Amino acid sequence: MEAAASVPGIHVVIAGDGDLRSDLAARAREHRAPVTLAGNLDRSAVAALLGAADIVAVPSVIDRAGNVDGLPNVLLEALAAGRAVIATRVAGIPDVVRDRENGLLVAPRDAADLAAALRVLAGDPKTRERLGAAARRTAVEKLSWEAHAAALEDCLVQTSALEAR
């Protein structure tokens, strides 16, 4: 919320629902952050929301119990939608998002770092476009079913060749 409140001209939409909703609403009011809590959305609504976004921020964290979403689906969906993404350096995210190549990476739980990244992208449509195009290429070339099927096929061919020796 702190990051959203400190970047003029942006509006944040948080999709989903859960235990943190009331805390998020209170924090948005406290910081006077331009935030809409959209609640649970079906797949088509999520796709429409991603398509309408200029920037998709996925500020994942490791919680007090050590839990973390290893590679959030919404991040993969944002890459596939060709959106400029900002994500945190946790779990498997840096394996997919390459800082300044196909998105921006920020430190977890660092509102100032997130706000700085939001300011960069909010003020630079060309960078958003470049990162979004690279994000889409990453999704198609490395993360699609076709890419995974081809990698599996390569492994099977190599295994067969080794067994034939």
Per-residue pLDDT reduced to its tens digit, 11-42: 999 999 998 899 999 999 999 999 999 999 99
In the prediction, which pLDDT does 63 show? 87
User: What's the CA gap between 58 and 134, in Å, rounded?
Assistant: 17
pLDDT at 8 > cutoff 90: yes
Spatial separation of the C-alpha atoms in residues 1 and 6, rounded to whole Å: 9
pLDDT for position 161: 84
Is the Cβ–Cβ distance between 77 and 107 less than 8 Å? no
For residue 126, what are the domain limits? Answer: 2-164
The CATH number linked to 14 is: 3.40.50.2000
Predicted confidence (pLDDT) per residue in 111-156, tens digit: 999 999 999 999 999 999 999 999 999 999 999 889 889 989 999 9
Q: In the 3-class helix/strand/coil scheme, how is the chain assigned residue by residue?
A: CHHHHCCCCCCEEEEECCCCHHHHHHHHHHHCCCEEEEECCCHHHHHHHHHHCCEEEECCCCCCCCCCCCCCHHHHHHHHCCCEEEEECCCCHHHHCCECCCEEEECCCCHHHHHHHHHHHHCCHHHHHHHHHHHHHHHHHHHCHHHHHHHHHHHHHHHHHHHHC
Taking only the tens place, the pLDDT of each residue in 57-101 is: 999 998 889 888 889 999 999 999 999 999 999 999 999 999 999
Q: Is the pLDDT of residue 164 over 90?
A: no
| Domain count along the chain | 1
What's this model's pTM, rounded to 2 decimal places? 0.88
